Structure 1
Amino acid sequence: MYSIAYVVPYFGKFPKGFQFWLMSCGCNPTIDWLIFTDDHTEYNYPPNVKVKYWTFDQMKKRVQKIFDFPISLERPYKLCDYKPAYGEIFSDELRGYDFWGDCDVDLVWGNIRRFYTDELLSKYEKIGFNGHSMLFKNTPEVCARFRTCLEGKLNYKEVYSTDKGYAFDEPGMDTIYEGLKIPVYKGIDFANLLKYDYGFYLDWQLEEDKEKNEAQIFTWKNGVITRYYLYKGQIETQEYMYLHYWCRPTTFKIKEYKPEKQYLIYPDTTTDKYYEITPKLIRKKSKRSKVKYYVKSIWFNRKKITLERIIFNVKGMLAYRK
């Protein structure tokens, strides 16, 4: 079995759903998560989630060590651009692992090994194309891939010399791998919830599956994420590797964190209150009041609202409406 470690530098207070995220990590015992953070809150960390308490200044110094020019890293959000360089930045901590990855914490994991099999991992050096979860083969050549400079394209020196956010971990790395003609695994084995819609809709869905996206909820139990949706009046199911909340204003109404319990996930809530899954429940829980949802969303994301983020989100909304 190929060994895997996800690297998660996170500075500031972890989001409210973090303990739920940790429980889902614990249900993937053959995979490690390496966290570097300044949040000393006493969470229940499972054995495969290893925590090191760093200051953001320590993080910046570690990043600077691998570059021969002054980098720009003035705020934690800029770390998104540095994700492709984690293989070099954390080379000591990642020694011995076959693959390393980066991921977000505003998600909940399902059974990762059911999707990322050894057969799949043996075929690719890069698995995934979204910044919320990607894996890279842990070799010097692959870890240095972000340093590739293609004529007329954005390069790492420009990205790492300025404070602006470039999403270098997503389109930036896509451009490099496409330019080098290196195959990347781009399977849609995750549930990515649209953050611009008050309903509960999945991104990356086929047009012919539109009806399946109209009424749906999710459950998490024993490390398995299941989508329940209505199709021609009947309940259909589908398993996913992870569900990405993507900044949706989610309230976590959880009293107990026990893998054997069923957790229900719907538009703005995740709860451990038990519900029988019926067509009526799916229709009822799959929508929220438009006004209430958007008011809650603005309040939930109030600390993230900057001119840069507003422009980025407006572009995203326009793209979604097309």
Structure 2
Amino acid sequence: MYSIAYVVPYFGKFPKGFQFWLLSCKCNPSIDWLIFTDDKTPYDYPENVKVTYWTFDQMKKKAQAIYDFPIFLERPYKLCDFKPAYGEIFADELKDYDFWGHCDIDLVWGNIRKFYTDEVLGKYEKVGFNGHSNLYKNTPEVCARYRTHIEGKMYYRDVYSVDKGFAFDEPGMDDIYEALQIPVYKKIDFANLLKYDYGFFLDWGKEEDAYKNEHQVFTWHNGTLLRHYLDHGKIKDEEYMYLHYWCRPTTFAIKEYDEQKDYLIYADTTTDKPFELTPGLILKRSRRSKVKYYAKVLWFNRKKITWERIVFNVKGMLNYKK
């Protein structure tokens, strides 16, 4: 079995769903997560989630140490651009792993090994194409791929030399791999919730599967993540590797974190309250009032609202509508 470690530098207070994320990591015991953070809240960390308490300044010095030019890393959000470089930045910490990766924490994991099999890992050096979960083969050549210069495309020295976000981990790396004609594993085995829609819909779906979004909920139990949708009034199931909340204002109404419990995930809530999965429950929980949802968005983001974020999100909504 190929060994895997996800690297997760995170500075500031972890979000409210973090303990649920940790529970889902626990149910993937053959995979490690290496967290570097300044949040010393006493969470219940499983054995395969290894925490190192750092300041953001320590993170900056760690990154700067591998470059011969001054980098701009003045705020944690800029780390998104540095994700493709984690293989080099954290080379010592990752030396014993076959694959390293980066991931978001606003998600819940299902059974990762069921999707990222040894067959997949043996065939591809890059697994995944979205920033919320990418794996790279841990070799010097692959770890240095991000340094490739493609005429007319983002170049790491330019990206790392200015205090601006470029999403280099996504389109930047896509351009490099396409130019080099290196195959990338791009199967849609994840559930990515639409950020700008008040409903409960998945992105990246096939057009012929759009009807599944009309009435659906998710459940999680002991590391298995299932989508339940209605097809002519009957419940159908699909398994996913992870569900990405994508910054949606989700309430985690959870009293106990236990892998043997059943968890229900719907429009803007994740809960361990007992439930019976019926067509009626799916009909009731698969939609959300538009007014209530956007009011909740404003409330959840009230401390983060800036003109820069407003412009960014308005552009995102316009692109989504297109």
Which residue does the alignment assign to 1:294? Answer: 294
Measure how far apart 1:317 and its partner are.
1.4
RMSD: 0.8
Measure how far apart 1:314 and its partner are.
2.1
Q: Residues 21-60 of structure 1: matches in 2 within 5 Å?
A: 21-60=21-60
- Equivalent residue letter for 1:304: K
Does the 8 Å contact 1:18/1:106 carry over to 2? yes
TM-score by length of 2: 0.99
Which residue does the alignment assign to 2:270? Answer: 270
Alpha-carbon distance between aligned partners in 1 of 2:176 and 2:53, rounded to the nearest angstrom: 33
Q: Aligned with 1:8: secondary structure?
A: strand
Which residue does the alignment assign to 1:107? Answer: 107
Which residue does the alignment assign to 1:252? Answer: 252
Q: Aligned with 2:87: secondary structure?
A: helix
Please say if 1:205 is aligned against 2:205: yes
Q: Aligned with 1:304: secondary structure?
A: coil
Alpha-carbon distance between aligned partners in 1 of 2:279 and 2:150, rounded to the nearest angstrom: 52
Measure how far apart 1:313 and its partner are.
2.1
Q: Residues 1-322 of structure 1: matches in 2 within 5 Å?
A: 1-322=1-322
Taking only the aligned residue pairs, the percentage that are identical comes to 76
Q: Aligned with 1:93: secondary structure?
A: helix
Q: Aligned with 1:288: secondary structure?
A: coil
- Equivalent residue letter for 2:43: Y
Alpha-carbon distance between aligned partners in 1 of 2:286 and 2:144, rounded to the nearest angstrom: 44
Does the 8 Å contact 1:217/1:286 carry over to 2? yes
Alpha-carbon distance between aligned partners in 1 of 2:182 and 2:195, rounded to the nearest angstrom: 31
Q: Aligned with 2:94: secondary structure?
A: coil
Measure how far apart 1:212 and its partner are.
1.1
- The C-alpha deviation readout for 1:56-103, integer Å capped at 9, x for no partner, is 000000000011100000000000000000000000000110000000
- The C-alpha deviation readout for 1:255-284, integer Å capped at 9, x for no partner, is 111101000001110000011111110010
Measure how far apart 1:231 and its partner are.
1.3
- The C-alpha deviation readout for 1:195-215, integer Å capped at 9, x for no partner, is 111110000011111111111
**Moved segments of 4+, more than 6 Å:** none
TM-score by length of 1: 0.99
Alpha-carbon distance between aligned partners in 1 of 2:137 and 2:311, rounded to the nearest angstrom: 34
Measure how far apart 1:299 and its partner are.
1.7
- Equivalent residue letter for 1:239: E
Does the 8 Å contact 1:247/1:301 carry over to 2? no
Q: Aligned with 1:6: secondary structure?
A: strand
Measure how far apart 1:225 and its partner are.
0.4
Matched residues, number: 322
Where does structure 2 lack aligned partners over 5 or more consecutive residues? Answer: none
